Structures are given as C-alpha cells and as structure tokens.
Amino acid sequence: MDDKTIMENLLLTTKGVIDLYMHGAIESSTTNVHQTFSSAFDDTLNMQDSIYKQMTAKGWYQIENAPQQQVQQTKQKYSPTCC
C-alpha cells in the first residue's frame, strides 16, 4: 500500500470518527459525557485538518472551486426574503 492510499484511509477514518464524536456530544445526557465527546471531537477535527494539509501539500487532495454562478444561485436560494 502506498503513502497516498494510507493517507486517504486515515482521512476517511478520521472523518467517520468525527461524525461519531459529534453525535455522541449531541446525544449525551450529562455534562461530563458531553465534555468528553466534545473534547475528543475537537482533537480529532484538528487531526483531520493536519492530514488534509499534508495531503494537499503533496497534491493528493485536490479541491475544485464551485462556479461563481452556482454560488450566487445558492446564496439567493437560502437568503431571507422578508424583513
């Protein structure tokens, strides 16, 4: 397995863990449990960001900007229409 594949797997796994921690925090019934999930969420989010930055630096994770027309249409669609 090459480095790119390993990093892709790490990124996907980390994103999945972030989702689990987020739901754990949302559904927690006590402050202590909420804080534990929230802290783990923050730590894992930072880890995901680090993996993303490393992959981007190596050219392994490329993003594509949305066309400006599509951005404007989406903004208009979700903008409040009344005052």
With beta carbons less than 8 A apart as the criterion, state whether 25 and 34 touch. Answer: yes
Exposure string over 9-37, b if 16+ CB within 10 A, otherwise e:
ebbeebeebbeebbebbeeeeeeeeeeeb
Encode the chain (83 residues) as per-residue pLDDT tens digits.
Answer: 899 999 999 999 999 999 999 999 999 999 999 999 999 999 999 999 999 999 999 999 888 888 999 999 998 889 887 66
User: What's the total number of domains in the chain?
Assistant: 1
Whole-number Å distance between alpha carbons of 55 and 51: 6
CA distance 60 to 44: 20
Tell me whether residue 19 is in a domain.
yes
Domain contains 57? yes
**Which helix (H) or strand (E) segment is 58 a member of?**
none
User: In the structure encoding, which two tokens stand for residue 8, read together?
Assistant: 């892709």
Q: Residue 83's pLDDT is what? A: 60
| Domain boundaries, position 42 | 3-62
**Within a domain: 21:** yes
